[in-house]
Structure 1
Amino acid sequence: MSQSRKQNQNIRGKTFTVKRSENSGSPRDFPKLVKAPDSQQRGTKASSKQYPKKIESFSVKDNTLYSLEYDSRTKTDVEMKVGRVIYIKEIRQDVETQSVELELEYYYKNKYHRKIISRKQLLKNELVKLLEYGLDVPDYKVTKVQKFLNLQEEQAPYHYTHSQLGWSEIEGVEVFKHDQSIGNDNLISSYNGSFNIKEKGTYETWKQIIYNDVVPHTPLCLALTAGFASPVVAWIAKDLDLEVLLLHAYGDSTTGKTTAARVYVSPFGAPTTKEGGCLLKWSGTHNGIIAQLVGNQGVPLAIDEASMNKMKDFTEILYVLAEGMEKARMTKELQLVDRRKWSGVLWSTAEHQLTEKANHNTGIKVRLTEIESLKWTESAAHANRLKESLLENYGQAGPIFIRHIQALGKAAILKRWKEWQVRCVDAMPTKDQFSHRIGDKLALLMTSAELVNECFDFDMDVDSILDLLINIEQTNAGERSVGDIAYRYFQEQVMQHQSKFEMNGRNEKAYECWGRIALKNGKNEVTILPSVFKAIMAEGNFEDTNVILRHWREKGYLDHDTSKLTRRRTAISEVEDFESIEKQKEVRANFYCIEIPDGLIDVKENEKFPHLLNNHMPLQKKSFL
């Protein structure tokens, strides 16, 4: 067993003494910090306490604090009772904020209790406020108690802590903060936060579970790879200007999506949705979800069951999640608030696509990879076996992997990523303007799969993982062009609402007329007023119709005047009492003239457009063109 030793540490000009392990190479050899208790008191037996016996003029015995006072009558020092004992059990300093907190232990009602306070609460006016928790600090005692605590603080055990996770630079050294910080043997800090990332079970058992129940099944290999990719993505994101990698698995509730999420987080933390688990829930507010992610730079987290969220529009939160940064805000003094950040990979699950409840922006579809209805597990027994095993064994493999990639170095990782980027793009049978951007992301996953095989000797089939990713992306590629999606949506609306268009020279059934459908130059053409078209597209969550129309113009779907998106057409009154061509010009207007596929609707050649422009009303009200 390794011998511990004392090592002088220096933070911002102050020298402290902390303990560290001789053998820092193993994730289990680091000194473990007792998890910080919350602000509630916890009672323990008095006989088990090891409080300080004597400090200068103060002494402690029988759970009572005494002070040596000069007795003027006897001209000798006399031991006087101060009160029930209070002492500092431990000092913790956050390496990120440099803030110091103290764990007090105090005697009350025949038990010892603990209370976490900030160091500023050692001020007299703050210390007396702790009376409500049972500390013996009334006004007439607080001066002596404060003096004792100030003296005893110099002897109390001291530890570094961190409350954020993932990559960070501490004292000029890049480290990865997990249960213990990794990367600087001279400054080791312990996690003091809300996530349960402390290892449970054994590494050997976890590895056997993965080898038996994950490695033979390619979809689960992808989930495992994504979890290990999170620190890789976060580590090189700044060098490559990458966003957060968003993966969303959707499909029927029996396909094993949540089991895949458990596999994804298990190397780094508890694969559970219970408090402290790394499986978060979508059933929260926008700000509540974001608050759980801030400060995490590479530890994999999942958000389970978006189906439970009542959010009607996921557009905004998807952009924020992918950007890895809070929205800009200002204080009352008009100063910008620092935007909290996160990075890595984020896994999501639901029974539906997230893009179904979002605007049809291409940006969202490029940022979000949606994985449809994969059979993540082979059976219910397979899923249950993984769930039960992983809930008892997690958190060991992540630190081992971090040490592996640190030993390789960032330059070597970037070189592999570039090689995989070329391979991923070359493997795409159909390419578009987004292929290279998508290839960047796929290459991160494939680089990580290769690194996982090296680190753990798993022998995952990387070619099968690549084939799966290419199939997923080719499926999504057809949904990335907002112009193509909008064109299909427009056709559906025209078919659904045929009665609202004048067709074949008549419009007998319509009380609300949207336009005309006719054959023009041998092609089916829908002529529609811009205001009506924009209202129809807005109902389908298409925000910018000009982007859509320009795409259609490039595709040849739009009949238009030079350098415009519209065509001037004449609407002839049903009364047909125009006396001259000048009067007809008065009712000429701009229309969108959109070609639709042959056979969609049975239309005939018709040159007239018999509707009344002066009676036109907004969409969903009785109107005529």
Structure 2
Amino acid sequence: MNLNNKSFNNKNHQNLYVEVLKKLINSKTGICYLLIRFWHSPSMSTLRVLPRSDIYNNSNILIDLGADVSDLKSLVKRISQQESQLDISYTHTDIGWSYLEERKVFQGSTSYPIESEYSGEIDITPKGSYAGWLKTVKEYAMPQVALQLAVVLGLSAVAVGFLKDELDGSLFVHLYGASSKGKTTFAMLAVSTAGNPNPTDKNTLMSDWSDTANYRISMLANNNGYPVVYDELSKCNQKDISDFCYNVANGRDKGRLNSNAERKDVPTWSTTVISTGENSLLAQCNNNGGLLVRVLELSIETITESANNAEQLKQGIIKNYGFANTKLAKCLLNNEEVVKKKFYKWRNKIENDIPVKNSLITRLSKRLAVIMLTAEIAKKIFKLDFDIPKIEKIIIDSVIKQNERHPFDIGESLIQYLLQDMVSHSEHYQKCLQFGFQDEQYSNLTAVIKQTNSKRLNDNEVSNFEIVYIPLKFEELLNKGGFTDTNLCLSELKKRNYLVTEKSHNKVKRTIDGKQIRAYAIRLPTTLFNPDFE
């Protein structure tokens, strides 16, 4: 529209010209929007995307934006005339993989292969140039394998969303270690593959653990291919983050009702989430097993080469970002069958390479396979010389360390915890011979360790005692150790034939201090614990 002083002095349009630029359909909801430029003067204007119904049915919207609505009928007619001359185009607020016109598309600042424009709030508009980003990565990131992994993790969000049906949730990676070791730089580099990595800017993919849980979830809602960061775990005010972390890794928020007691839409996602902190994330969660196969913890000694190297890297990616994940998405979409074959190849390889063997590792290996799959494909697309064997070694070593700290076998972890408590708090356990108590003075009794006839638990293990726990004390003990699901713990003991049961009951009748109660009775092999009844 050609504006000049004469037209703005026209008495019929003295306050404002309204220019309809685009007619947009939200690809998910089907709701129609208009992109309108409100001209306040020949050199000053405001752009707004407004629901079509608000423009035609709510004159307050136009008034608030400064339009002259003294002749509302003429104004609406002018808008309608302009709209009728426009073709319809798509807009989207979800990001990552979706479906449009029954075709799989990747939605970023624009979408591929069907064109659509992003109208959401997250800053994913590319900045600078792809060449600038690539140059920065080659010069300042590729010399360190840890930073290679950062790039791969950022890109892996695209693969996680693409392979959503093959996985059972998102990829959740926690990087921890001493301060000033480059963890935030690592996270920023990962985010730069997809959007604005500057943690001081608004609406970026970089979040903070000090943000509210609802805000952190909002960054993930309907995100199927863009990495998200939660920086600095030490800033988190939640005492127990187990449920939150489980939801993040599971790719689904809690179900909720609105004020009318109606079900609200439940946000879902399938992407890569990177957390950073000085301490272990799993150490702040309970020991109920679900997170152990959903979270990969990385403890890397050296991330950046030097403070100067880190600063040069950050400056480069703040100036150039948001190009790489779309390039990867196009490749995946055009090679779907090959991608899936590579995924299963890596899954089998990782299962074989990890020395820890149990069913939980099998589930974790799917997430780890996505990382390695991404590294292999990205190496070809971006001509970046990722050291594939060393990246896999970081991951495998991390899994081994994670199993040492938080055993994937929750039953093994539980048994070790119970043994440690008996040793470190022996004053809470009363030994009982077959014909009477060995000791008489015990305070704050947790259990009685009772001598019994020898019983074979399985082909290799024998027990000659029972640990008879007072039920309330047993449940308190489990909670104290982070084992908040009592039934799961009992089930793990049953699997090993360590829990003494009575028909369909998990509790059995036992006498403690002359009183018969229903208690939890556990038999452990003498090879693990051999109480001295002499």
In the TM superposition, residue 371 of structure 1 has moved relative to its aligned partner by 1.5
The structure whose residues are more often helix, as a share, is 2
What corresponds to 1:605 in structure 2? 533
Residue of structure 2 equivalent to 1:545: 486
Q: Is 1:127 paired with 2:55?
A: no
Greater shift in the superposed pair: 149-158 or 99-108? 149-158
Q: 1:251 maps to what in 2?
A: 177
Match of 2:460 in 1: none
Letter in 2 for 1:363: G
What amino acid is aligned across from residue 427 of structure 1 in structure 2?
Answer: D
What displacement does 1:562 show?
7.8
Matches within 5 A, 1:535-574: 535-555=476-496, 568-571=509-512, 573=514
Counterpart residue identity of residue 66, structure 2: G
Does residue 1:214 correspond to 2:214, yes or no?
A: no
Aligned-pair identity in percent equals 25
Residue pairs, 1:355-504, within 5 angstroms: 355-407=282-334, 409-478=335-404, 479-503=407-431
The amino acid across from 2:100 in the alignment is I
Any gaps of 5 or more consecutive residues in structure 1? 1-48, 54-59, 67-80, 574-585, 607-625
- The superposition leaves residues 523-580 of structure 1 with CA deviations (integer Å, 9 ceiling, x where unpaired) of 676433222211221222312334323433544655666886556544455xxxxxxx
Q: CA deviation at 1:279?
A: 1.0
Give 1:213 deviation, angstroms: 2.5
Cα separation, partners in 2 of 1:563 and 1:84, compared to 1, 3 Å: closer
1:365 CA drift (Å): 0.9
Please state whether the residue corresponding to 1:434 is helix, strand or coil. Answer: helix
Distance (Å, rounded) in 2 between the aligned partners of 1:572 and 1:166: 64
State the shift of 1:373 in Å: 4.3
Q: Indicate the larger mover: 588-597 or 335-344.
A: 588-597
| Aligned-partner residue type, residue 360 of structure 1 | N
Q: Contact conserved, 1:495 with 1:600, CA < 8 A, in 2? A: no
Aligned partners of 1:92 and 1:161 also within 8 Å: no
User: Contact conserved, 1:167 with 1:175, CA < 8 A, in 2?
Assistant: yes
The DSSP-based 3-state class of the residue aligned with 2:163 is helix
1:149-198: CA deviation from partner (whole Å, max 9, x where unpaired) = 322334579754322211122223322111221213xxx22222222222
Letter in 1 for 2:19: I
Q: Which runs of structure 2 are paired with 1:249-328 in the superposition (5 Å)?
A: 249-273=175-199, 274-328=201-255
* Mean Cα deviation higher: 377-386 or 340-349: 377-386
Shift in Å, 1:244: 0.9
Following TM superposition, by how much is the alpha carbon of 1:589 offset from its aligned partner in structure 2, in angstroms? 5.5
Does structure 1 conserve the Cα–Cα contact (< 8 Å) formed by 2:23 and 2:83?
A: no
- Alignment RMSD (CA, Å): 3.0
For 1:165, the equivalent position in structure 2 comes to: 95
Aligned residue number for residue 528 of structure 1: 469
SS at match of 2:58: helix
Change (3 A) 1:562 1:164: closer
Greater relative CO, 1 or 2 (CA 8 Å, sep 6+): 2
* Residue 589 to residue 114, structure 1, CA distance change in 2 (3 Å): closer
**SS at 1:365's partner residue?**
helix
Q: Which residue of 2 aligns with 1:36?
A: none
Does 1:63 pair with 2:15? no
User: Which residue number corresponds to residue 459 of structure 2?
Assistant: none
1:366-409 deviation digits (Å, cap 9, x = unpaired):
111122344322332332222122111111222222222233x2
The structure with the larger Rg is 1
CA contact under 8 A between 1:94 and 1:163: conserved in structure 2? Answer: no
TM-score (ref. length: structure 2): 0.86
Query: Within 5 Å, which residues of 2 pair with 1:4-83?
Result: 50-51=2-3, 61-65=6-10, 81-83=12-14
**For residues 571 and 244 of structure 1, do their structure 2 counterparts lie closer, same or farther at Cα, with a shift above 3 Å needed?**
closer
SS at match of 1:90: strand
Report the alpha carbon displacement of residue 266 of structure 1 after superposing the two structures with TM. Answer: 1.0
Contact 2:361 2:408 in 1 (8 A): no
- Report how far residue 133 of structure 1 moved: 4.1
Tell me the CA shift for residue 358 of structure 1. 1.9
Structure 1 residue identity aligned to 2:95: L
- Do the aligned partners of residues 182 and 560 (structure 1) sit closer, same or farther apart at CA in structure 2, a change above 3 Å counting? closer
Find the aligned partners of 1:216 and 1:524 in 2 and give their Cα distance. Answer: 58
* C-alpha deviation, 1:353, in angstroms: 2.1
- Matched letter for residue 196 of structure 1: D
| Unmatched tracts of structure 2, length 5 or more | 432-436, 455-462
Structure 1 residues 153 and 487: alpha-carbon distance in aligned structure 2, compared to 1, 3 A threshold: same
Give me the TM-score of the superposition, normalised by structure 1. 0.75
Q: 1:489 to 1:226 in 2, by over 3 A?
A: same
Aligned partner of 1:121: which letter?
Answer: D
